[in-house]
Structures are given as structure tokens and as C-alpha cells.
Amino acid sequence: MRLFGTGKVYEFGTPEYDTFLPPEKRQPGSRAVIWVDVHKVGTSCGYSIPFFTYKAPRMRLHTFFINKEQQDFDYSCGQSSSSSPVSVSDSSSSMVVVPKQDSTALSDSTSSPSPKLPPEGQGIKNYWKLKNLNSQDGLPGLLFAYASPKALGDWRGRGISFKPDDESPSSKTLASANRGRGLVAIFASEKVVADVGKVLVGFGAGVLVTSALARLWAK
């Protein structure tokens, strides 16, 4: 499916983001809401799309980002409770200009203090800053979410966790795969038999023709 339209991006930390995706509905790792006014929808035939059996939602991404967000929360709690906060970088006290995102509360002239981030390699905002500032083809990505002073939630305090994914193939899937391999083997063996048969028939026909020619030559 291909959607044609005009999009708006509401990043984490904007009022619109919280309106469309309140904290109780937000999933770990969510960084923006993409609103698209669609004027055309294109679909493909899908004739060659194979059937897939739904097993369960995959939680690997949730598990990865819930740990990242918890690092941000724990670090901010440690900083607020410390009498002498440790600066992570020289830019931790700088001001970040918030880009205009069609927001009633944000404008180009609005600025907010950049949050103190955990050490490099920890926390989701550091991850956003490293991975999501630009796309792979160089287009701009996140403009504000990684520098938003808005605190991330305490997932551990809320008792939220995710079990590791069960990525083992089901017995039904294995049976189907074995059945498919069996059919391939049958088809392959039939092809071998057919090829051998053709060789034998050709050899027999050659012997008969040779015998007939020998008799004619003898006469």
C-alpha cells in the first residue's frame, strides 16, 4: 500500500504528541506522531504474497527501548537528588531552539534548556541523537525530541516489563517445511527417473537402428 498526502510531524515533548499519544498509551521508544492528510491510496495486487501464520507480537524492540528509557529516568532522578550534579558534556547547559511544528505552544523563538543526558551510549535521548538526526540518505530527522526537557516514564516503577520473544518455529511450521522438502525430493527423484528412462530409450533405439543397418549391409 502506498499513501499520497501531506504529513506533519509532532515529536516527543510537544503538546500535540501528548494529545495524540498520552503517556498511558505510549509505547517504549516512541519518538514522534506522524499525521498524514491522505488524498490518494495506491495498492498492489498481492498475487504472489505468501501466507503467514500470526504467532504473537514481537517484543524485542520494546525490551531494548524500555531499558534505554529507564536509564534516562534513573539518571535524571540521580541528578535531581544529588547536591552537586555532574555535567555529562559542555553543552548540557546550553539552550536549544525548538523548531516550529505547527504547534500552538511552540515557535521558532521558543527555547528550553537542554536536558542533562546520561553518559554516552546510555539513554534513549542519546540514542535518538546518535541515530535519528538524519536519515541514511542525509535528510533531516528529529529536530527536538532528543533535546526535550520532558522526562521519560518510570517503566520499572509502573511494573511494566516484556517477556523475551519465543522465536522457535512452531510444530505446524516445521511440518509444513518438511512436507515442502518432501515434495521437492519427490519431484527431484521423478526427474532423475525420467532422465534415466530417456537415456535407456535412446540407447535401445540406437542398438535397434545399428542392428538393422548391419543386416542390410550384409545382404
The predicted-structure confidence for 145-158, as pLDDT tens digits, reads as follows 999 988 888 888 88
Widest CA span of the chain, in angstroms? 121
The reported pLDDT for the residue numbered 31 is 94
Residues 38-96 have pLDDT tens digits of 999 998 877 888 888 888 889 999 999 999 999 998 988 887 776 444 333 333 333 33
The total number of structural domains that make up the chain: 1
Cβ neighbourhood burial of 210 (10 Å; 0-12, 13-18, 19+) = exposed
The reported pLDDT for the residue numbered 164 is 84
> Are 181 and 100 a contacting pair, CB within 8 Å?
no
Please enumerate in sequence order all residues whose Cβ is within 8 A of that of 106, keeping only pairs 6 or more positions apart, or say none.
14, 15, 98, 99, 100
The reported pLDDT for the residue numbered 193 is 55
Angle, CA 138 vertex, CA 135 and CA 142 arms, to 5°: 45
Containing domain of residue 124, as a range? 2-147
Please enumerate in sequence order all residues whose Cβ is within 8 A of that of 78, keeping only pairs 6 or more positions apart, or say none.
none
The reported pLDDT for the residue numbered 122 is 92
Q: Is residue 61 part of a domain?
A: yes
Q: Which one, of 120, 124, 122, 113, lies nearest residue 91 by Cα? A: 113
Residues 11-28 have pLDDT tens digits of 999 999 999 999 889 999
Average pLDDT, the chain: 77
Q: What are phi and psi of 138, to 5 degrees?
A: 90, 5
Cβ neighbourhood burial of 184 (10 Å; 0-12, 13-18, 19+) = exposed
The reported pLDDT for the residue numbered 96 is 36
Radius of gyration of the chain (CA): 32
Residue 192's pLDDT band, with cuts at 50, 70 and 90, is low
Helix axes 124-131, 60-81, angle to 10 degrees: 120
